[in-house]
Chains A and B, each alone.
Chain A
Amino acid sequence: MHLPFRSKRALRTVAVAAMVGMTALGLAACSSGSNQASSGSATKGTINWWGWTPTNSQEAKDFIAEFNKKYPDIKVNFKLIDITSYDATIRAALASSGGPDLFDLQPGARVQQFGPYAEDMAPVAKAALGSDWKSKIAPIAISGMTLKGKLTALPVGSTYAGMLWINSQLFDKYNLKPPTTLDEWKKDCQVFKQNGVGCFVQGAAQEGFDQDTLQSISNSVEPGLWTKASQGKAKWNDPTIVKTLSIWKDLFDSGIMQSGALGAQQYPDANNQFLTGKYAMIMMGTWYTQYATEKAMTEAISAAGVAGAKTFPILPVAFPDVAGKGHTSEMYGDADYGLAVASKSKNRAAAETFAKWIATTKQGQQVIANRLDTLPTLKGIKPDFTQIKFVDPSLQSTPVNDLLKKVGSVNEPREALLSADVQNAILAAAQSVAGGSASPRQAANTLEQAAEAAANQ
């Protein structure tokens, strides 16, 4: 088929126009749009909130429903993004003009990477809580969300780790006590295995949870050294870290860690194995408190693919003194997540209203507290246990309350000080030692080199 053109010039004109048009379209699509549009109304409008948590969408809907009781004219759309693809999704969204108005941030790598694209929330916190706002929020939550003096997000909740969760039914059934030393841990595992029950389950394929176990071991060897290394005040090949990796290796060799742990992910693999009663212990933090309740545990067991879920009481216990030096591991924690308002949002005022309500008001924080998923950051807010139903209140009420009291004094950070490069290097060290391809000393040296290289970038 032939299309006649009046002249070469006409053809060229059409071609050039088409090229320019397509390029303009492409550039328009790629352009970032206006950087600082109007901030919009603070009491009405539609805002889009993107996050990897709350992982239970119903939880987010409950938050929004409570919020709408006070602000009925602000519609909040929550978009749940799987944590494994969150960074890729949010990176592209923040670079464009079509991203979220509100997004989740977490201390550490995410605050470092995406914090520059968020509004400073310090003025919002000051407006809501007064000039002494810092004294009204858990300090660990503020420090984790602060980047170069800017409060990148209002901390919604905080999480703490450094303990084990046990299936108390299994311990009772085999007449065992929670381990307090490495030897006791090994003996408990032998008994469980003799009875065909899994002992301790961990998804060692993921860095975050390996870090928790390693930080706890390190605190057992020498409290505080891990944090010093995270701050750059100690080397990652310090003898304490070498000893930590040796004990980590022992967990695998002695059969405490389940077979195939290096190929397992904490979510869903390890989590499902524990919640379906196949294993007696798991390394989880305060976010696991929610599964002490009948409702959340039933939902979680059903989500793990078990019909007719039978709940069982879970209890938090201190991480064993695996180094045998008398140091029971201190807990450590960060802001679980905070809500950041995107600098490019055209609805910043409404987005700030929602973030302010959920993070700084008693009403918003009480809703957070009662879910027992993440702990409220606003001081003085506690879960309302008259509304919370434990699986076995007589067994769980005291340990859970003790745990919630204990975290109030925690000041050791969990991931806030670690860059993505260092976290990746910690995972490589943990896996190479556990897999036997490197000795603890070799792995520690490699980790130190990677940390130095990351610091120099």
Chain B
Amino acid sequence: MRKNRTILIAVVAVIGFLTSCQKVIQLDLSTTSPQLVIQGDIYDEPGPYAVKISKTIDFDKPNIYPPVTNATVTITDNTGKVDNLSQAADGTYVTSTLQGVIGRTYTLTVTIDGKTYTAISTMPEAVNIDTIYSKKSFFGNDKVIVLDFVNPPTKENYYQVVHLVNGKQIPGFSVFDNNSNLVEKVSFSFMTTNITPELVAGDIIDVWLERIDKGVFEYFRTANRNGGRSTSPANPVSNISNGALGYFSACSVRKKTFTYK
């Protein structure tokens, strides 16, 4: 139940309508030595799959993240297959032979300057999208995009929804679980706000329904906890060892496309 934020947004919106204002301010934020960021995804679709490795930067710098080019990256699965990744671009390492298979467990090993970082992820069973449509949000005049699917009767189901508008991926960490209430038919809706230009009729929207494992879900769930009103924002809980930021995910994905109306 994530209604708290909805309530708060509503009240702040209402009170804010009366009086509030926003402005950009300059803050003297603390800095820290660059830290390692690893992001890897494997799907049950043909590869190659990429692992991106970069470093953090200070808040006031432009968003250009220095790539890490001296890493040794391998992915192995639980049947003993090993893929040594090669650097396709600065900081982007790609697989050559690996093929994601549902049910297999993958281990990512990254070695940089003698230090090794590992992560394990298991690819869950895929879930199909039944339909996609848009409808008016129950909260405002905006439209939401809804996807209907059948939740399998297993105990732990974690999902991530990725969407692309006219082929361009919209950044966002949209994850949810279905463990609180084992509902069979799920209608998941998400907003399309914060994108420019706004959606217009005829836009092509691709939606990916990814089924992720618990470690990856925890990463995105905790990443979403750092809204402006949390009293204790913190780095997301990563499934990578040795203090690296980011995540490694082996997930199954099903895609569907529709034309926005």
Question: Do the two chains bind?
Answer: no
